[in-house]
Amino acid sequence: MQFTINGRAFEADVDIRTSLLDLCREHLDLTGAKKGCDHGQCGACTMLINGRRVNSCLTLAVMHQEDEIITIEGVGDPQGLHPLQHAFVRHDAYQCGYCTPGQICSAIGMLDEIKKGWPSHVSADLSSPVFDDQEISERMSGNLCRCAAYTNVVDAIREVADSAANDRTADEKDKVMADEVMA
Amino acid sequence: MKTFDYRKALTPEAAVETFDGETARFIAGGTNLLDLMKLQVETPDKLVDISRLDLASIDEREDGGLTIGALVPNADLAADPRVIDRYEVLSRALLAGASGQLRNKASTGGNLLQRTRCYYFYDTGSRCNKRTPGSGCDAIGGANRILAVLGTSEHCIATHPSDMAVAMRALDATVLTLKRDGDRRRISIHDFYRLPGDTPHIETVLDTGELITHIELPKPPSGRQAYRKVRDRASYAFALVSVGAVIHIQERRIARAAFAFGGLAPMPWRSQAVELALIGKAPTRDTFEAAADALLAEAKGFGGNDFKIPLARRTLIATLRDLTEH
Ligand SMILES: Cc1cc2nc3c(=O)[nH]c(=O)nc-3n(C[C@H](O)[C@H](O)[C@H](O)COP(=O)(O)OP(=O)(O)OC[C@H]3O[C@@H](n4cnc5c(N)ncnc54)[C@H](O)[C@@H]3O)c2cc1C
Ligand code: SF4
Ligand code: FES
Ligand code: FES
């Protein structure tokens, strides 16, 4: 079978039953995505398929040979962190870190859904959802965190979303926050 | 997971042709089927991959209705501006279900056909007539908190877990199919599901290998729409009770009402008695109580799920109150 993952071509000879998650973790040495439940209940395995966030444990690798797959390894690396990765570090948005790759891939997909104007369960007006913390929590509910770092996860995502929206850099935002603390 | 033969179909005709034998399965999003295959609740010997069929568009019809391809993802259906504008109950029901990741993968056809969440159905060590016909039902007398109070039989008390299907019933949708012999059928959503009776393993009127190609929504109903879901946590949980509602008030009387319920029965539940109790009446507390009486006249709890009967009453009344207040 042939795959395109993080912009690279891979070939693997795997059992037909292999999930996309197991393909990456067990056969391609891409161990960033985690297996929490293997049943679509935790979000630790979240990847982006053609830009959309999905649970990679609940889909077969064989079904995705024509797709562009992005795992956390393709989101950023220590030399070039994605803004969300920066924000997670800055906001201490994890403890053990097991859910983090899934949280970040999910947040990337989620921010794109917001950009497209998609509503959520908590949107009062489905045609023009307002983007607040409650919306982030609802939209990220498919990612569980056993360490309960939720409030910091929301803060980290909020910062990236705001800075994208206001075209304000994260550093300035930090400074504003620091000034507020000093005042 | 048991191994299987995998075939990808590129047209609906090829999909039904490739499907052979009793144990083959179509796979769309896979979010329910693979879950069950991992536990060997489902053990198909062949998977026909229908995920790339050209059935992923939502098309406008002349009467203002919509034709929804069976492969439209739940997320896209919920966010479609026409659905939001004309069928808010459907958008709301979809958004109340599962998670962002799952809705991106789950298809319209697969959602209709998702299986029950009864714990014993999932546990191959338990007796379950739906999984293994004739083996018994461990839920009756067991942990049945999430199970049904309406439409049950002595053989099965499972609930149908879909939120979307509840809205489809409130909206009088029609399911379009393609059979293995090439025939096409149009099945009203009201005739689509079957009660368990003594064959709880048969859940719909579909024949073996019959492919859902589309779901049609008729001309949008007038009036207001709502979907109210009560569950154990505020997000990412199945319904204990849900109500999909369409109500039209004219001259302070209820002119039209369509109410469907989730979490209560083996199929998304629609009750004519509820609607008869409402139509022509003024929207008062007494009218709402009468509608709840009509809904629950034949409700029967099994111990753990007794609470669903008063919960359904309160949820229906709250939905009616919200929809009829200004
Ligand atoms: C953790 C979790 C939470 C969830 N929470 C909710 C919830 O709150 N509310 C809710 O409503 N749902 C919920 N779901 C269920 C989810 O909505 C379903 O799994 C999904 O809709 C199934 O769609 P699919 O395309 O993935 O189906 P698949 O898994 O591909 O298929 C399901 C069944 O339908 C058949 N099938 C699929 N397409 C067709 C077709 N076109 N014609 C004929 N047969 C077909 C398959 O053969 C299979 O038997 C949840 C699921 C998970 C894993
Ligand atoms: S309620 Fe139905 S699905 Fe649950 S154990 Fe009994 S027969 Fe099986
Ligand atoms: S491992 Fe995929 S959702 Fe938990
Ligand atoms: S940081 Fe430990 S599970 Fe989320």
Q: In chain B, where are the structural domains located?
A: 5-49, 228-324
Question: pLDDT tens digits, residue range A56-77?
Answer: 999 999 999 999 999 999 999 9
Q: Going by C-beta distance under 8 Å and a sequence separation of 6 or more, which residues neighbour residue A29?
A: none
SS3 call for B7: strand
Q: CB–CB of A19 and B34 under 8 A?
A: yes
Please name the residue of chain A whose CA is at the shortest distance from the CA of residue B30: A59
A120 touches chain B (CB under 8 A): yes
CB contacts of B102 in chain A (<8 Å) are: 40, 55, 58, 142
From first to last of its 326 residues, chain B has per-residue pLDDT tens of 999 999 999 999 999 999 988 899 999 999 999 999 999 999 999 999 999 999 999 999 999 999 999 999 999 999 999 999 999 999 999 999 999 999 999 999 999 999 999 999 999 999 999 999 999 999 999 999 999 999 999 999 999 999 999 999 999 999 999 999 999 999 999 999 999 999 999 999 999 999 999 999 999 999 999 999 999 999 999 999 999 999 999 999 999 999 999 999 999 999 999 999 999 999 999 999 999 999 999 999 999 999 999 999 999 999 999 999 86
Q: Is the pLDDT of residue A129 over 70?
A: yes
Chain A: give the shortest CA distance to residue B92, in Å.
Answer: 7
Nearest CA in chain A to B94: A121
Q: Which of B211, B158, B214 is nearest to B24 (CA)?
A: B211
ipTM: 0.96
Q: State pTM to two decimals.
A: 0.96
Q: Determine the distance separating the centroid of ligand 3 and the alpha carbon of A6, expressed in angstroms.
A: 20
Nearest C-alpha of chain A: how many angstroms from B297? 31
Q: How far is the centre of ligand 4, averaged over its atoms, from the C-alpha of A101 (Å)?
A: 10
- Looking at domain B228-324, which of 1.10.3720.10, 3.30.390.50, 3.40.50.620, 3.40.50.10860 is its CATH number? 3.30.390.50
- Which residue, among B102, B116, B105, has the nearest Cα to B41 in the 3D structure? B116
Domain residue spans in chain A?
A: 2-173
A146 C-alpha to ligand 1 centroid (Å): 26
Q: How confident is the model at residue A162 (pLDDT cuts 50, 70, 90)?
A: confident
> Nearest CB to B30: which of A59, A118, A137?
A59
What is the reported pLDDT for A183? 45
Please classify residue B185 by burial: count the beta carbons closer than 10 Å to its beta carbon, then call 0-12 exposed, 13-18 middle and 19+ buried.
Answer: middle
User: For residue B27, which atom of ligand 1 is closest to its CA?
Assistant: 30
Question: What pLDDT, on a 0 to 100 scale, did the predictor assign at position A172?
Answer: 52
Q: How far apart are CA A80 and CA A83, in angstroms?
A: 9
The residue written with tokens 């879909």 in the block is B162
Per-residue confidence (pLDDT) for residue A174, from 0 to 100 = 54
A54 interaction partners in chain B (CB closer than 8 Å)? 101, 104-105
CATH number listed for the domain at residues A2-173: 1.10.150.120
Which residue among B31, B92, B96 places its CB closest to the CB of A40? B31
Q: Flag whether residue A16 sits within 8 Å of chain B, measured between CB atoms.
A: yes
